[in-house]
Amino acid sequence: MAEKPQKANLLDLGLSDYAGTYRLQQELVARRKSGGLNKDLFLVTEHPATFTLGRRGGRENLMVSETFLQKRQIPLVHIERGGDITFHGQGQLVIYPIFDLRRGGLTVADYVACLEEVMLQLAASQGVVASRDKRNHGVWVGSKKLGSVGIAIRHGISFHGLALNVNISLEPFSWVNPCGLTGVSMTTLSREAGRDIQLAEVKQGVGDIIGAVFGRHISVVSEVPESDTVQ
């Protein structure tokens, strides 16, 4: 008899403050480690305009001053995820899996490939053919980057995750070398599809695609579970 897929939850946070969501991830990682959260949890969100710097830093790839950002009320946040500088903003689909790699039997490379596969399938669901590129993790349409991956792992549990450009303004990306790469332009699903695509359209398929890629039975929840039954 085939083994039943493990259960996992999906929580849509809507538009959420970056700093608050970052604190939430840290709390959830601690709960996942202690056993207070017994299922993997996929957080789905979008953020107000925010630049983040990863473990490799990347301040040198910011081509505007911090005063410039302050005037536009765009924070610059240093975090421990992998990767370089990146931009988050409304119209970008962000998914933060709180995922136990050990229980899931995934290597870090396997896990990153899964995140990329989720984005590839989400793009395909909107008629956009994307691909991987050896230059940098994430997904691409030709030479243009459509989605990024940046993760951190603590006690074998992942946080941070992926960001897929749906209909986000591309102007702020022109203020940086995205992900530390020079001569790279960003793109969106809307631009590549030649039509306006709303985040809500893309979200409709998120649970099914995550479930298929990660081999999980996904339940949509309306709030962070206080406690879980064992998987």
What CATH number is associated with residue 41? 3.30.930.10
How much is the average pLDDT of 141-160?
Answer: 93
What is the DSSP secondary-structure string of 81-121?
Answer: SSSS-EEE-TTEEEEEEEEEHHHHT--HHHHHHHHHHHHHH
**Is 74 among the domain residues?**
yes
3-state secondary structure of 54: strand
**Is 45 among the domain residues?**
yes
Tell me the pLDDT of the chain averaged across its residues.
Answer: 89
Q: Is 67 within 8 Å of 35 (Cβ atoms)?
A: no
**Is pLDDT of 8 > 70?**
yes
Distance CA 135, CA 80 (A): 21
Least confident of 149-153, 186-190, 196-200: 149-153
**Is 55 among the domain residues?**
yes
**Is 227 among the domain residues?**
no
Bridging pattern class, strands 131-133 and 40-46: unpaired
pLDDT of residue 4: 67
**Is 188 among the domain residues?**
yes
∠ Cα 153 181 156 (to 5°): 5
**Is 231 among the domain residues?**
no
Residue in the block written with tokens 């997904």: 139
Q: Is 221 within 8 Å of 9 (Cβ atoms)?
A: yes
Structure-model confidence comparison of residues 6 and 119, the more confident one: 119
pLDDT of residue 52: 84
* Cα dist from 27 to 32, 67, 78, 81, 105, whole Å: 9, 32, 18, 16, 23
Number of domains in the chain: 1
pLDDT of residue 81: 61
pLDDT of residue 132: 95
Least confident of 35-44, 83-92, 124-133: 83-92
Distance CA 99, CA 173 (A): 29
**Is pLDDT of 178 > 60?**
no
**Is pLDDT of 231 > 60?**
no
| CA nearest neighbour of 12 among 94, 90, 88 | 94
pLDDT of residue 5: 75
**Is 230 among the domain residues?**
no
Phi, psi dihedrals of residue 84, rounded to the nearest 5° = -110, -145
Least confident of 82-86, 130-134, 169-173, 227-231: 227-231
pLDDT band at 78 (very low <50, low <70, confident <90, very high): confident
How much is the average pLDDT of 50-55?
Answer: 79
Write down the pTM of the prediction. Answer: 0.91
CA 98 to mean position of chain CA atoms: 11
How much is the average pLDDT of 201-228?
Answer: 92
Phi, psi dihedrals of residue 208, rounded to the nearest 5° = -65, -40
pLDDT of residue 197: 97
**Is 229 among the domain residues?**
no
pLDDT band at 199 (very low <50, low <70, confident <90, very high): very high
Q: Is 179 a catalytic residue?
A: yes
Structural domain of residue 182, as residue ranges? 6-220
- The single residue of 11, 43, 139, 179 carrying the catalytic annotation is 179
